[in-house]
Structure 1
Amino acid sequence: MNQPAPRQVASIEGVGVRRMTSDQVILDGIDWSVRAGEHWALLGANGAGKTTLLKLIGAVMHPTSGTVEVLGNRLGRVDVRELRAHIGHVSTSQRVPQDAPAHTVVLTGATGTVQPLWRKYDDETRQLAHDLLSELECKELADRPFGVCSGGQRARILIARALMPAPSLLLLDEPFNALDLPSREDLIDALRRLAADRPALATVTVTHHLEELPPTTSHALLLREGRVGACGPVGDVLTGELMTRCFGRPIDVTHQDGRWLARSGHRS
């Protein structure tokens, strides 16, 4: 008996984005869809359009042309403020109060605010924040000020914050930025557990390094100069040939024990 296909979480068709002040093409002719339970890697050189693409499916900006649907709602026909409440977004550049304890930072995810709105948090909401810290294996940080936590700890706290509204889509914008090796591996393990514990959750992770991808990564999209270079199941996309074409220099890709590694040789 055939199983029904997972529901579509985000869909982009014929999308283009231009910078109005300079008419610069940022994205051109993008077609892409993300389904429930898929875990995407979004890769490309600096300036390829990764952050812009993430903003589109995060309902943070609108395309210049084409259509974007997120969680069954087409941008331009929906209140994006309400839509964003169902999308988790994690970025190291997010503004959160540095002196607030980790539990308070996670609580703000329930209201989507920088500062806590204490009257909005009932006992159930407060307990959920504790539960999410436990799920991300950082419950011991509940009372520690966010600003004194390590980079890896802050990343996991921000993921817990993003999960407060039980999103269907989680966007991770370079979450491994500036992490040391142990912190990187802790975060990779946290993402692996998250995929196992929340089978319907879809994620999109922007990264520059294949070794940062957890073994649960299912799909990949390569961007080059605002266009899709390759898109599909991760094993079909993360190849030396396609990575070489995307980054414009020889790249050798290896895959072992569920993890990837990319190495670049000298141009001939």
Structure 2
Amino acid sequence: MAGETAQHAADGPVPPVVRLRDVSVRRYTTDQVILDAVDWTVRPGEHWALLGANGAGKTTLLRLLGALMHPTTGSVEVLGATLGRVDVRELRAHIGHVTSAQRVPEDLGAHTVVLTGHTGTVQPLWRMYDQRTRERARELLAELGIKELADRPYGVCSGGQRARILIARALMADPALLLLDEPFNALDLPSREDLIEAVHQLAEGRPHLATVTVTHHLEELSPAIGHALLLREGRVLARGPVGEVLTGERLTACFGRPITVARREGRWAAWSGRSGSTPPPPAG
């Protein structure tokens, strides 16, 4: 992968981080269509929100981006490599994937959990971690604002702290693409806001990193999110700059009920209720 990237740089512009062309996924046992004719391009430095109702196909789409499955038809290119023509194990080493369902031994300290991102293992492989690697793990904890958790067992950390530990772990491989699968799930308001700020600063400090965040709530989007894709029943309903996609009309079509959208200082709010009802303003 590194050689491919260097060759692209020598030949011309850096290619998209992700390019999907007419991608469909069907469940073989039932022939159910999960994704249908999806086209999507993500470029370096872009930050995307992926939204849709339960069952819309978000998880399947994220698995394609993470090189965890192949499409039934169509072409999926990730980091310049086409799925089906590349060793996916090598490709996955350049993709950061964070999900709250990630298996992590709860007795491991936060620093050790981050270290395991270097080897892509659940348990630490101590012989593989030199002093520079250990220092990098501490630097990432500091970057995510949780350096004081280095020796705290993962199992006693809060949900928000766990999310930031997992992001730091994913960054150990210095990925070009970071996939965040509902990272705000079950967080209280302070933890959510801390994580949003951490993700925002991460995006600002890494200009070439591309991210895709799956969420159900517009309030969870950081100001760094510049693009959005809406999925409905496996098809792309809309994609592009957030100002064009995250509208009341399009979200109403996406979720199947009237939705009103507001935006203030880069933060979003969405609600559905009686005509004329007004929610609290979004955070500044």
Instruction: Give the alignment's TM-score, normalised by structure 2.
Output: 0.92
The alignment status of 1:52 with 2:60, answered yes or no, reads: yes
Could you give the per-residue CA deviations for residues 169-216 of structure 1, whole angstroms, max 9, x where no partner exists? 000000000000000000000011001100000000000000000011
Q: Displacement, 1:226?
A: 0.2
Q: Displacement, 1:257?
A: 1.1
Aligned length in residues: 264
Q: Name the residue aligned to 2:48.
A: 40
Which secondary structure state, in structure 2, belongs to the residue aligned with residue 95 of structure 1?
A: coil
Letter in 2 for 1:186: D
- C-alpha distance in 2, partners of 1:264/1:7? 40
Q: Displacement, 1:265?
A: 2.2
- For the 8 Å contact 1:6–1:37, the answer to whether it is kept is no
Q: Name the residue aligned to 1:213.
A: 221
Letter in 2 for 1:15: V
Instruction: Give the alignment's TM-score, normalised by structure 1.
Output: 0.97
Which aligned pairs between 1:2-17 and structure 2 lie closer than 5 A? 7-17=15-25
Q: Name the residue aligned to 1:102.
A: 110
Q: Name the residue aligned to 1:116.
A: 124
Could you give the per-residue CA deviations for residues 25-51 of structure 1, whole angstroms, max 9, x where no partner exists? 000000001000000000000000000
Correspondence for 1:147 among 155, 174, 196: 155
Could you give the per-residue CA deviations for residues 199-247 of structure 1, whole angstroms, max 9, x where no partner exists? 0000000000000000110100000000000000111000000000000
Which secondary structure state, in structure 2, belongs to the residue aligned with residue 8 of structure 1?
A: coil
Q: Name the residue aligned to 1:241.
A: 249
Letter in 2 for 1:120: M
Q: Name the residue aligned to 2:280.
A: none
- C-alpha distance in 2, partners of 1:158/1:45? 25
The alignment status of 1:204 with 2:246, answered yes or no, reads: no
Percent of paired sites with the same residue: 73
Poorly superposed stretches of 4+, deviation over 6 Å: none
Which secondary structure state, in structure 2, belongs to the residue aligned with residue 214 of structure 1?
A: coil
The alignment status of 1:260 with 2:268, answered yes or no, reads: yes
Letter in 2 for 1:234: V
Q: Name the residue aligned to 1:194.
A: 202
Report the RMSD for the aligned CA atoms in angstroms.
1.1
